[in-house]
Chain A
Amino acid sequence: MNEKVIEIENLKAYYRISGNINVLALDDINLEVKKGEFAGIAGESGSGKTSLLKVLTHSFPSSMEIKGKVVINFRDKNFDVLTLNEDQIQSLRWKAWSYVPQAAMNSLNPMAKIKDIFLETLESNDKTMNRDEFRKKMEDAFENVGLSKQFLNFYASRLSGGMRQRAIILLATILKPNIIFLDEPTTGLDLITQKDVIQLLQNMHDELNSTFLLVTHDVSVHAQATDFVHIMYAGQIVESAPTKELFHNPLHPYTKELINSVPIIGGKRGRIEQNIRISSSIANSVQGCKFKDRCPYAIPSCGKYVYTYKKGDHEVKCNLYES
């Protein structure tokens, strides 16, 4: 039953800066996510991965122009997110999908207790469930995630970053939405808390069998948590593959560079040489493959067009595989 939950067709988006100057954020994105899949999007900062999430959750700034089709399936009805108005989107939020934004642990109302934040989310989204039943559900959820019940009566500022992040993930999953978007949920956390969060996400995914879409620049988090990974560079998806396939047999030179740049504890790899170059700023719209200036294997054709090579689920945009 692998019908598609999210389907994006040649999505283009750019920020209007001033006058006619605009910065390209997303350049012709095509992406599919199947039901119950734990998909991941990896890429450096500035590669457009956060902009993509902002488009999907309809929380992009007004200065952003968008073209293309973004279809989300909810209760086997397809909604094109871009055509919906604010009220329709608001009626879908936290039911069709929930969204943990970047640095979510610093965006809790300082004037409210944790339990109030949970209760108000319930009231706005699920009229059927009564409060006592929900309170019980909330306390159990906190307990088996290792946060003691009494934290519910704390104000957010008294909890540590790691605890707040786990509370927010619970908040995002407690009403069992169809899709759960997560933007950099592990960044800024300590090693042990990061491991807790990743294991929490895995348990939630097995328990709810809803679809997860995780965005982070840390490829090792993708290796541990996701089933399918899309690598983004300068506003484009350059490679997509199931996680095991991608890490054991990376095709795109950029993916190889990303994976190599992560030191492996115990793996005697020694010094990793890197030529000094600029990070992927997408302001300059380049002809052909955007990675050609940084690519050690660049060939002349890279400057003109980009060939898409597909083998089963593994897809890569690179002229090296133009056989």
Chain B
Amino acid sequence: MRNSFIDNISNLLLVYRGFTFGIIILVVLLFLGFGLSNFAPSNDLLWGMGNAPFSIPPTFNYPFGTTTNGQNLFWLLMIAIKNSMLLGFLTGAISIAIATIMGFLAGRFSSGILGDLLNMIIDSFCVIPGLPVLLVLAFALKNYINVVMISLILSIFGWAWPSKQMRNIVMNLNQKQFIMTSKFSGLNTWKTFLHDYLPYVLPWLLIQFLGLVNWAIGMEVTIAIFGMSNMSVPTIGTSIYWAYTNQTLLLGQWWWMTFTLILTILLMLSIYMVSMSISDYLNPRTRLTRLQKSKVLEET
């Protein structure tokens, strides 16, 4: 199995330009976020007075310029990326876990009343506008907000969309005959899930996870803009919030907002490109045609 993993990746790199572009930027950002940010000078990170001069445009030793509170924007954004990614991965993990359970149950019992009820619950969580409700919750928990808390809040609505698609996949698989073969080969539900459902669900899990990471980062920005995020912890959202409320644009200090936006777009784009190319490469139909093609090659 090992060598096929390596040639899978190499195949992916060559075939999908989007994947190569995405993975390179993602790796760079991951390194910047989790690697480089530890070297940031600790004192000027908090929103207090920094030792750097106030709001000067990008120069050599302040590559991204400095903020109105005299912080080095470069280090600030490195930490911001780290926190936002952390938040994204956490929300993604929690939401995917809930989505898998809800989606699998709704799909497996789709013929009965339970299945219909679960499906209605899933649909209603998709339809309800999450933002106003989350803002009420964030407002209520005003002084207890931290990265983990935001992830939990976002997961309340994050799981709905993935579980809807998970339910469709499970319902399609229920009609397949090999589910019946497994039943008559004595496999219990857990083993059936592992061996029959998982190979179809795994690629989808990865794609939905990346999608959720993007969604979570976006929602964190939205909540932060309303001032509901933990303002002292530098994340992409809080950085935008301070840049916006300090009227940096009116004062002509373009660099704070511009660099934040550029990094955000790069982060989201790379995650999206990676998930798009994986979904093309791994979706069951193309995998099957690749398996069949290898059979014909073997024979000639």
Residues of A participating in the B interface, judged by any CB pair closer than 8 Å: 17-18, 21, 23, 281, 283-284
List the A side residues contacting B297 at CB < 8 Å.
Answer: 17-18, 21
Residues of B participating in the A interface, judged by any CB pair closer than 8 Å: 293, 296-297, 299-300
The residue in chain A whose Cβ has the minimal distance to the Cβ of B299 is A283
Provide a sorted-by-A list of 16 A–B residue pairs whose CB atoms are within 8 angstroms: A17-B293, A17-B296, A17-B297, A18-B293, A18-B297, A21-B296, A21-B297, A21-B300, A23-B296, A23-B300, A281-B299, A283-B296, A283-B299, A283-B300, A284-B299, A284-B300
The residue in chain A whose Cβ has the minimal distance to the Cβ of B297 is A21
10 more CB-based (< 8 A) A-B contacts, given A281-B299, A283-B299: A17-B293, A17-B296, A21-B296, A21-B300, A23-B296, A23-B300, A283-B296, A283-B300, A284-B299, A284-B300
List the A side residues contacting B296 at CB < 8 Å.
Answer: 17, 21, 23, 283
List the B side residues contacting A17 at CB < 8 Å.
Answer: 293, 296-297
A215–chain B nearest beta-carbon distance, Å:
23
List the B side residues contacting A284 at CB < 8 Å.
Answer: 299-300
The residue in chain B whose Cβ has the minimal distance to the Cβ of A19 is B297
B296–chain A nearest beta-carbon distance, Å:
6
Q: How far is the CA of A284 from the CA of B299 in the complex (A)?
A: 7
A287–chain B nearest beta-carbon distance, Å:
15
Q: How far is the CA of A284 from the CA of B300 in the complex (A)?
A: 6
List the B side residues contacting A283 at CB < 8 Å.
Answer: 296, 299-300
List the B side residues contacting A23 at CB < 8 Å.
Answer: 296, 300
Q: How far is the CA of A283 from the CA of B299 in the complex (A)?
A: 7
List the A side residues contacting B300 at CB < 8 Å.
Answer: 21, 23, 283-284
Q: How far is the CA of A309 from the CA of B109 in the complex (A)?
A: 64
The residue in chain A whose Cβ has the minimal distance to the Cβ of B298 is A283
A277–chain B nearest beta-carbon distance, Å:
15
Q: How far is the CA of A283 from the CA of B293 in the complex (A)?
A: 12
Q: How far is the CA of A102 from the CA of B278 in the complex (A)?
A: 34
Q: Closest 9 A-B residue pairs measured CB to CB?
A: A283-B299, A283-B300, A21-B300, A17-B296, A283-B296, A21-B297, A17-B293, A23-B296, A18-B293
Q: How far is the CA of A265 from the CA of B297 in the complex (A)?
A: 43
List the B side residues contacting A21 at CB < 8 Å.
Answer: 296-297, 300
List the B side residues contacting A281 at CB < 8 Å.
Answer: 299
B108–chain A nearest beta-carbon distance, Å:
27
Q: How far is the CA of A187 from the CA of B293 in the complex (A)?
A: 27
List the A side residues contacting B293 at CB < 8 Å.
Answer: 17-18
Q: How far is the CA of A17 from the CA of B292 in the complex (A)?
A: 11
A2–chain B nearest beta-carbon distance, Å:
42
B120–chain A nearest beta-carbon distance, Å:
26
B298–chain A nearest beta-carbon distance, Å:
10
A24–chain B nearest beta-carbon distance, Å:
10
The residue in chain A whose Cβ has the minimal distance to the Cβ of B295 is A283
Q: How far is the CA of A18 from the CA of B300 in the complex (A)?
A: 12
B289–chain A nearest beta-carbon distance, Å:
11
Q: How far is the CA of A17 from the CA of B294 in the complex (A)?
A: 10
Q: How far is the CA of A139 from the CA of B299 in the complex (A)?
A: 53
List the B side residues contacting A18 at CB < 8 Å.
Answer: 293, 297
A284–chain B nearest beta-carbon distance, Å:
7
B7–chain A nearest beta-carbon distance, Å:
15
Q: How far is the CA of A17 from the CA of B289 in the complex (A)?
A: 11
The residue in chain B whose Cβ has the minimal distance to the Cβ of A24 is B300
Q: How far is the CA of A185 from the CA of B296 in the complex (A)?
A: 29
Q: How far is the CA of A279 from the CA of B299 in the complex (A)?
A: 14
Q: How far is the CA of A17 from the CA of B297 in the complex (A)?
A: 9
Q: How far is the CA of A21 from the CA of B293 in the complex (A)?
A: 10
Which interface residue of B293, B297, B299, B300 has the most chain A CB atoms within 10 A? B300
Q: How far is the CA of A23 from the CA of B300 in the complex (A)?
A: 9
The residue in chain B whose Cβ has the minimal distance to the Cβ of A20 is B300
Q: How far is the CA of A275 from the CA of B299 in the complex (A)?
A: 22
List the A side residues contacting B299 at CB < 8 Å.
Answer: 281, 283-284
B293–chain A nearest beta-carbon distance, Å:
6
B271–chain A nearest beta-carbon distance, Å:
31
Q: How far is the CA of A23 from the CA of B297 in the complex (A)?
A: 10
The residue in chain B whose Cβ has the minimal distance to the Cβ of A21 is B300
Q: How far is the CA of A17 from the CA of B296 in the complex (A)?
A: 8
B115–chain A nearest beta-carbon distance, Å:
23
